[in-house]
Amino acid sequence: MKPAPFAYYAPTTLDEALSLLSEHGYDAKVLAGGQSLVPMMNFRIAQPAVLVDINNISDLAYINAEEGGVRVGALTRHHQSETSPVMARHAPLIYSTMPKIAYPQVRTRGTFGGSLSHADPSAELPTLTTTLDAKFRLVSQRGERWVSASEFFIGLYTTALEPDEILVEGFVPELPPRSGWSLQEVNRRKHDFALAGVAAVLTLDESGICQDARLVFLSVGDRPMYAERASNLLKGQTLTPEAIRAATELATTEEIDPGDDIHATADFRRHLAKTLCQRAIEQAHQRAQGKQ
């Protein structure tokens, strides 16, 4: 379990890194926290000819509060997000989910940008950023662009990133008042990838009617699965048990695409998604009512 030979660069500026990516294109891989890439290289599943290590670029790790949300640098370690008061205040869904991502050793190294760029459909951050309608700034020598999370995640380990681009930061909008959130997942062991999971955010109007809702599933498709129709079904409704059940039913029968593997059948995953979706909406509803 030793990696195949590769050339290694450790640029200290973003410009240098972008120039290396521009030069090597598909042959290059960006190394951030390395918590997925390095094991894949050791298994020789990934054999990049060139590794561009961005850990020495110092100005890419930050969590800053801004008008309407929080700006998170690509090299922000999960551990920083987990312990950041700014994150706790402005993106409590991300903040409170952090301890569910793997275990402390992984969170010490793993990064915000790395997890998003890797785009594992079982990872939490892609789902959370999709749920919160975050957007990402992608930079290359050709210029920069902002892409929304929903457009960024394309498929299994596949994103909108071009080979010469780096995701340098994300912007996570803050939830409006009377909003509630929840992340529910089932893991075999505390630190495992979820067998199934769902994030829910809800915003109520002053009379308690659901104004806005977003339900996004993880581990039950090739990317974060945004249940748009079920989310829309909740809007304009009083969240009665029947309303919650109906949205759950729609989301988990028509808007997810679970697969079979050794840990769970598609059937069981769908069952879990259903159970969890109901629990997530209920919890988000409670929070939106200020009950938790």
Partner 1 sequence: MDKRLIGKRVVRNEDPRLLTGQAQYVDDVNLPNMAHAAMFRSEYAHARIRSIDVSKARAHSGVIAVYTAEDMGADCYPGPPLVSPPPTVKDVIFNSRRQVPLVKDKIRHAGEIIAVVIAETRYIAEDALDLIEIEYEPLPVVADIEKALEPNSPLVHDDLDSNLAAHLVQKKGDYESARASADVIIQRRFTIERGTAAAMENRGIVAQWDAKSEALTVWDTTQAPIPIRNGLAARLGLSESKVRVIAPFIGGGFGPKIMMFYSEEMLVPWLAIKLNRPVKWIEDRRENFYATTQERGQVHEVEMAFTRDGKILGIKDDFIHDTGAYDPYGLTTPLNTQSHVMGGYDIPNFTSEFRVAFTNKTIVTPMRGAGRPHGIYVIERMMDIAAKELGIDRVEIRRRNLIKPDAFPYEHGIIDQAFAPLIFDSGNYEAVLNETLKAVGYEKFIKEEQPRYRAEGRRVGIGVLPFIETTGVGPYEGARVTVEASGKIAVATGVGTQGQGHFTSFAQVVAEQLGVDVTDVRITTGDSAHFNWGTGTFASRGAVVAGNAMHAAATMVRKKILKLASKVLNAPEEELELEDGMVRVADIPQSSISLSDLAALANPLRGAVEPGTEPGLEATAYYGPQYGPTAFGVHAMIAEIDPETMMIKILRYVVTEDCGTILNPLILEGQIHGGVALGLGNAYYEKLHFDENAQLLNASFMDYLLVGSTEMPRIEVHHLETRSPLNELGTKGVGEAGAIPVPALFAQTMEDALYDYNLEIRETPLNPNRLFEIARKEKTA
Q: Applying CB under 8 A, which residues contact partner 1?
A: 1-5, 39, 43-44, 186, 188-192, 195, 262-265, 268, 271-272, 275-276
Please identify, using beta-carbon distances, which residue of 204 and 277 lies nearer to partner 1: 277
Rounded Cα gap, residues 147 and 208, in angstroms: 32
Beta bridge partners of 53: 31
d(CA 69, CA 31): 27
User: How far apart (Å, rounded) are the C-alpha atoms in residues 154 and 3?
Assistant: 28
Closest approach of Cβ 198 to partner 1, in Å? 12
Q: How far apart are CA 118 and CA 155, in angstroms?
A: 11
Smallest distance, partner 1 to C-beta of residue 182, A? 15
Which residue, among 118, 183, 128, 120, has the nearest Cα to 150 in the 3D structure? 128
Cβ-based nearer residue to partner 1, 3 or 163: 3
Nearer to partner 1, 60 or 198 (CB): 198
> Nearest distance from residue 144's CB to partner 1, in Å?
35
Least distance to partner 1 from the beta carbon of 171, Å? 32
Q: Judged by CB, which is closer to partner 1: 47, or 232? A: 47
In this complex, which beta carbon is closest to partner 1, that of residue 26 or of residue 103? 103
- In angstroms, what CA-CA distances link 274 with 124, 222, 231, 261? 18, 18, 14, 19
Query: Is residue 193 within 8 Å of 55, Cβ to Cβ?
Result: no
Residue closer to partner 1 (CB basis): 44 or 89? 44
Work out how close the CB of 42 gets to partner 1 at its nearest, in angstroms, rounded to a whole number.
9
Q: Return left, alpha or beta for 13; rule: phi > 0 is left, psi -120 to 50 is alpha, else beta.
A: beta
All residues at 6 or more sequence positions from 241 whose CB lies less than 8 Å from its CB, including other chains: none
Residue 229: CB minimum distance to partner 1, A? 24
- Residue 216: is it exposed, middle or buried by C-beta count within 10 angstroms (0-12/13-18/19+)? buried
Alpha-helical segments (H) within the chain: 14-24, 37-42, 78-82, 85-90, 92-97, 104-109, 112-118, 124-131, 149-152, 228-234, 241-254, 266-288
Shortest Å distance, C-beta 188 to partner 1: 5
Comparison of 138 and 272: residue with beta carbon closer to partner 1: 272
